[in-house]
Amino acid sequence: MPRMTLPHENTRSTRASIVFAFAMALALYLVWFVRDVLVLLYVSALFAVVLTPAVRATSNLRVGRWRPFRGPAAILFLVAALALLVIAFGSLAFPPIVRDLQTFSGEMPTRLPLLLAKLQRIPFSSRIDTGQIISKLQDWAAQGAGYLLTSAKNWASGIARLVMGLVLTLCFLLEGDGAYRWLLSFFPAAPRRRLDAALQRASVRMGNWLLGQASLMLIFGLTSTIVFLSLHLRYAYALGVLTGLLNIVPVVGAAISLALALLVAAIDSWGRVLGVAIFFAAYLSVENYFLIPFIMKNRVNLPALAIFVSLLLGSALAGILGAMVAIPTAVLVSVLLDEYLVRKGEDERGRRASSTD
C-alpha cells in the first residue's frame, strides 16, 4: 500500500525547493560577479599543469649523483633562467632602437623641410596645403598622447593581472598537488580513482601541447629571422625572436609581429614592406592550414576542426587568455567526455552483449 503524503511534508518540500532555487541563483550571481577572478584562477592552474613536465624534467637533472634542482629549486631555477633570458634580450635589442630613435628625433627638424620640398615637386602638389598637413600631424600626435594617458589605467590593470597570474601559477606549481588531492577527496573511492586516472591522461596530453606550441614558436621565429635578414631589415634578430615569442598568442601575436615588422620596414623602403607582407601572408597560411593541424593533432590527438573551434570559442569567451588556453581546455574536455560518455556507452553495450550470450 503506497504511503500517503502529509500536507506538512508537501509544504516542507516546497520550501526546500524555493530555498534551493534562491541558493542556486545566488551562487550563479556570485560566479558571474567574480568571473574575472575565476578565469584568472583557471588559466593559472592550467598553465601550472602544462608547465609541470618542464619542472619535473628540471628536477631530474643530475650532476653525477647530485640532483641540484629538487622540489622548489627547480621552479626557482626556471624562473631565474627566464628572467636572465628577458634581461639578455632587452640589453641586446633595445639599445640600437633607442639610439636610432634619438638620431631620428635629432634629424627631424632638417628632414621635415626636405620632405615638404619633395611633396611640392609632386604633380598637382599646388593643391596640397602643407600647413594643414602639419596641423593634422600635430593633432594626431596630441590625440595619441592623450590616448596613452587615458589608457594608463587599463595598462596598469593589465600588468597587475599579468603579475597576479604569474604569482598564482607559481603557487599552483608549489602547492598544486595538495590542492588537487584535497579536491579529489570530495569524491568516493571508486569515482575518485577513475577521475584521477582521466585527469592524469589529460595532464600528459597538455604537456604535449606545450611541446607542440614550442615547436610552432621555434619554426616561426627561425623562419622570420631568416627572411628579415635576407631583406636586410633593421633589428632582424630582435624582430625574429619577438615574432617567435608572440606566436604563443593566437592571431593577436601574429598581428602585433606583423605591425612591428611593417613599421620597421617602412623606415627604409616600400619594397621591404611588400616583402614582409608577402612573407607573413604566406607563412600564416601554411601555419594555419598545415602546421597547426599536423603538429597539434600529433601532439594532443585532436582533429583540426576541434582545434579551430576551440580557438574561436576561447577567443570569443575570454579574449587573448581564452585563445591561449583554448587547446589545453579542449584536451581536458575531450578526455573527460571520452571517459564518462564514450567509454560508458561502450561498457553498457558490452554488458548487454554479454547478458544476451
Q: In this predicted model, what pLDDT tens digit does every residue of 93-147 receive, in sequence order?
A: 777 777 777 776 676 666 666 666 655 665 555 555 555 655 665 566 566 556 5
**Above 70 in pLDDT, residue 353?**
no
φ, ψ of residue 241 in degrees (nearest 5): -65, -45
**Above 90 in pLDDT, residue 281?**
yes
Q: What is the mean pLDDT of the chain?
A: 78
Q: Which grid cell is 135?
A: 596641423
The span from the CA of 353 to the CA of 158, in Å, is 57
pLDDT at 148: 56
Lowest mean pLDDT among 87-91, 226-230, 273-277: 87-91
Residues in contact with 54: Cβ distance below 8 Å, sequence separation at least 6, in sequence order:
78, 210
pLDDT in tens, 20-38: 778 888 888 887 877 778 8
pLDDT in tens, 283-294: 999 988 888 878
Pair 75, 51: CB distance under 8 Å: no
pLDDT at 302: 81
pLDDT at 282: 94
pLDDT in tens, 185-202: 888 888 889 999 998 888
Nearest-10 crossing angle of helices 130-150, 72-120 = 160
The span from the CA of 42 to the CA of 324, in Å, is 12
Residue type, 222: L
pLDDT at 129: 56
* Separation of first and last alpha carbons in the chain: 38
pLDDT at 3: 53
pLDDT at 218: 92
Region 266-291 average pLDDT: 88
Instruction: Give the model's confidence band at 223: pLDDT under 50 very low, under 70 low, under 90 confident, else very high.
Output: very high
Instruction: Give the model's confidence band at 227: pLDDT under 50 very low, under 70 low, under 90 confident, else very high.
Output: very high
pLDDT at 295: 83
From the number of C-beta atoms within 10 Å of its C-beta (0-12, 13-18, 19+), residue 260 rates as middle
Lowest mean pLDDT among 98-112, 237-251, 258-272, 304-318: 98-112
**Above 60 in pLDDT, residue 155?**
yes
Q: Which grid cell is 24?
A: 542556486
Share of the chain above pLDDT 70, in %: 77
User: What is the DSSP secondary-structure string of 265-298?
Assistant: HHHH-HHHHHHHHHHHHHHHHHIIIIIHHHHHHH
Domain ranges (residues) in the chain: 34-122+156-186, 189-345
| Most confident stretch, 31-40, 59-68, 214-223 | 214-223
Q: Which residue has the higher pLDDT, 226 or 209?
A: 226
Please give the sequence-ordered ranges of beta strands (E in DSSP) within 95-178, or none if there are none: none
Lowest mean pLDDT among 82-86, 145-149, 158-162, 337-341: 145-149
pLDDT at 121: 61
| Most confident stretch, 15-29, 58-72, 276-290 | 276-290
Region 307-335 average pLDDT: 83
Pair 258, 280: CB distance under 8 Å: yes
Residues in contact with 314: Cβ distance below 8 Å, sequence separation at least 6, in sequence order:
322, 323, 324, 325, 326, 329
Buried b or exposed e, range 194-229, using 16+ CB within 10 angstroms: ebeebbebbbebbbbbbebbeebbebbbebbbebbe
State the CB neighbour count (10 A cutoff) for residue 108.
10
**Sign, CA torsion 104/110/115/118:** negative
Q: Which grid cell is 200?
A: 592524469
Q: Which residue has the higher pLDDT, 150 or 281?
A: 281
